[in-house]
């Protein structure tokens, strides 16, 4: 008995001695305290989610499975992680409008006329209103032939008043190529894209060969006949499609890094019949060699939009947004978000004006860029020396908002000069530049999980309010951010 007492006493002395080693100011984090300190205030409506993400990665092979030779490579240091502000966010939804906030039903550009001064007045409720169709208005009747009234709701993707059936329905995210020529030789025809002008969001990121690829997110797509040519998949595009609860559409993939993800139940996908796809949706794809005469084999495949609904139904995919869906963007409500104190910017060059290996820099002074039209409040996309257009209707591609999302990137096989496969960290947080109404707002982006939205915050941690309309998101290789060029108006 005495021996037991001595052992207990000795243990107590040793414990007290160990505790005395800690300095007086040593932090002791209680359970739950670390989460509160790091995330400060969470989104009010953000649903609890399980982190599911092995970080993105995605190089690429051609649709035929042939790897693309690598260009000259530029080594890049690994960046320090950027802490993410997480301010409180109310659920972005809508507030009814009167006549001053009418959506253009047709025309060259989609733009909502709004009075100025409303960056602190975001959409806060979701309601609907009826649009009376004038039978004498040929454009309106062409868009809404179903009846004399159309029920509208403000879109989760653009903030504009849109057919309620399209707003509630899950969007489709379609992979598109973004190269100058639709083939492998200098004699190949110039690439044409069909349907891109009707996309609500366009997401762009570098791929092998140091070009970029596009992912066009469509909400109101019923009146389109085809979209394409459809391009192959990279895993980092899939992760950002998850942010919008999209049904993902692709033709081909970089198998070694994408096959497991695209065949899993983590993403609802409609894939063409190619190697590695376990359950292809071959019924919604077709080839059209006349759309771009003499195009290479990777540029003749299109999505048959008329067969989408039946294919989604047959696969049992949820038709409306699921509970995991989070609205990414906060939109101004009945007034234009003006940001009077922000920097004026008229041109945005994600890859600068000189040749570089960052994905946006293959064409030097003809690198892709955006030019702001102050009269229309739109940023027009230029590349290969001219404004970008839709081959379907000749419409210039203009968007209301441009976002540069800086992400850490790296080569997946840096020791093999034959390949140039890339990976990008699209989860976590990083630097962001947001452009709207001719202004630039510096801040950060944050994506906390696979289905988690890409939230945008200013430098004070407030969620950035975008203007109603389309958005173009450029995933910019962070290690090449020194090439970004922002031009202000001439004095």
Report the CATH fold assignment for 172-487: YerB-like fold (3.50.90)
Structure tokens at 385: 């020396």
Write a three-state SS string for 176-232: ECCCCECCCCCCCCECCCECHHHCCEEEEEECHHHCEEEEEEECCCCCCCEEECCCC
3-state secondary structure of 315: helix
Distance from chain centroid for Cα 357: 22
On the 0-12 / 13-18 / 19+ scale of CB atoms within 10 A, 394 is exposed
Left (φ > 0), alpha (ψ -120 to 50) or beta: where does 87 sit? beta
Whose CA is closest to 246, among 217, 215, 272? 217
| Phi, psi dihedral angles at 141 (to 5 degrees) | -65, -35
pLDDT tens by residue, the chain, 491 residues = 444 444 434 444 333 333 333 333 322 222 222 222 223 233 333 333 334 444 433 333 434 333 333 444 443 433 333 333 333 333 332 332 333 333 333 334 444 566 666 555 666 567 888 887 777 777 777 777 666 788 899 999 999 989 999 999 999 999 999 999 999 899 999 999 999 999 999 999 999 999 999 999 999 999 999 999 999 999 999 999 999 999 999 999 999 999 999 999 999 999 999 999 999 999 999 999 999 999 999 999 999 999 999 999 999 999 999 999 999 999 998 788 999 999 999 999 999 999 999 999 988 889 999 999 999 999 999 999 999 999 999 999 999 999 999 999 999 999 988 888 899 999 999 999 999 999 999 999 999 999 999 999 999 999 999 999 999 999 999 999 999 999 999 85
Element (H, E) at 150: strand 149-154
On the 0-12 / 13-18 / 19+ scale of CB atoms within 10 A, 454 is buried
Q: Angle CA(469)–CA(242)–CA(486) in degrees, nearest 5?
A: 45
The pairing of strands 269-271 and 247-250 is parallel
The residues with which 465 forms a beta bridge, in sequence order, are 330
Residues making up the chain, counted from first to last: 491
Q: Give the Cβ contact number of residue 190 at 10 Å.
A: 14
Q: Taking a C-beta distance cutoff of 8 angstroms, is the pair 328, 422 a contact?
A: no
Is this structure's pTM higher than 0.95?
no
Q: Which residue has the tokens 């040929």?
A: 138
């Amino acid at each position: 008995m005495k021996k037991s007492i001595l052992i207990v006493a000795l243990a107590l002395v040793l414990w007290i001695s160990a505790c005395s080693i800690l300095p007086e100011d040593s932090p002791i984090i209680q359970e739950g305290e670390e989460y509160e300190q790091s995330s400060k205030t969470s989104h009010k409506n953000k649903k609890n989610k399980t982190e599911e993400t092995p970080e993105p990665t995605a190089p690429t092979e051609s649709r035929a499975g042939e790897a693309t030779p690598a260009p000259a490579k530029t080594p890049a240091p690994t960046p320090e992680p950027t802490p993410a502000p997480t301010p409180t966010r109310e659920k972005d939804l809508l507030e009814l409008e009167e006549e001053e906030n009418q959506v253009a039903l047709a025309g060259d550009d989609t733009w909502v006329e709004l009075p100025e001064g409303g960056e602190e007045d975001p959409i806060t409720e979701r309601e609907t209103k009826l649009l009376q169709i004038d039978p004498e208005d040929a454009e309106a009747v062409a868009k809404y032939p179903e009846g004399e009234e159309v029920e509208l709701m403000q879109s989760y993707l653009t903030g504009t008043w849109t057919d309620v059936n399209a707003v509630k329905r899950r969007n489709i995210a379609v992979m598109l190529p973004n190269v100058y020529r639709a083939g492998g030789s200098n004699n190949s025809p110039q690439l044409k894209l069909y349907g891109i002008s009707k996309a609500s969001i366009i997401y762009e990121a570098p791929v092998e060969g140091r070009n970029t690829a596009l992912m066009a997110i469509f909400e109101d797509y019923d009146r389109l006949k085809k979209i394409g040519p459809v391009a192959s998949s990279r895993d980092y595009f899939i992760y950002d499609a998850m942010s919008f609860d999209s049904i993902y559409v692709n033709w081909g993939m970089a198998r070694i890094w994408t096959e497991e993800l695209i065949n899993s139940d983590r993403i609802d996908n409609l894939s063409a019949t190619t190697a590695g796809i376990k359950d292809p949706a071959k019924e919604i794809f077709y080839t059209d060699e006349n759309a771009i005469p003499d195009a290479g084999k990777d540029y003749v495949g299109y999505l048959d939009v008329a067969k989408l609904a039946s294919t989604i139904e047959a696969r049992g995919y949820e038709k409306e947004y699921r509970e995991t869906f989070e609205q990414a963007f906060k939109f101004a409500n009945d007034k234009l978000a003006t940001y009077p104190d922000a920097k004026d910017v008229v041109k945005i060059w994600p890859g600068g004006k000189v040749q570089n290996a960052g994905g946006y820099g293959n064409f030097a002074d003809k690198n892709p860029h955006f030019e702001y039209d102050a009269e229309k409040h739109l940023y027009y996309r230029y590349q290969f020396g001219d404004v970008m257009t839709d081959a379907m209707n000749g419409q210039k591609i203009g968007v209301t908002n441009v976002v540069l999302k800086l992400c850490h990137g790296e080569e997946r096989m840096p020791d093999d000069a034959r390949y140039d496969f890339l990976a990008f960290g699209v989860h976590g947080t990083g630097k962001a530049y947001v452009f709207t109404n001719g202004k630039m707002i510096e801040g950060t982006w944050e994506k906390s999980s696979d289905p988690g939205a890409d939230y945008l915050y200013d430098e004070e941690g407030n969620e950035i309010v975008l203007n109603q309309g389309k958005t173009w998101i450029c995933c910019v290789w962070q290690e090449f951010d020194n090439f970004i060029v922002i031009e202000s108006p001439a004095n």
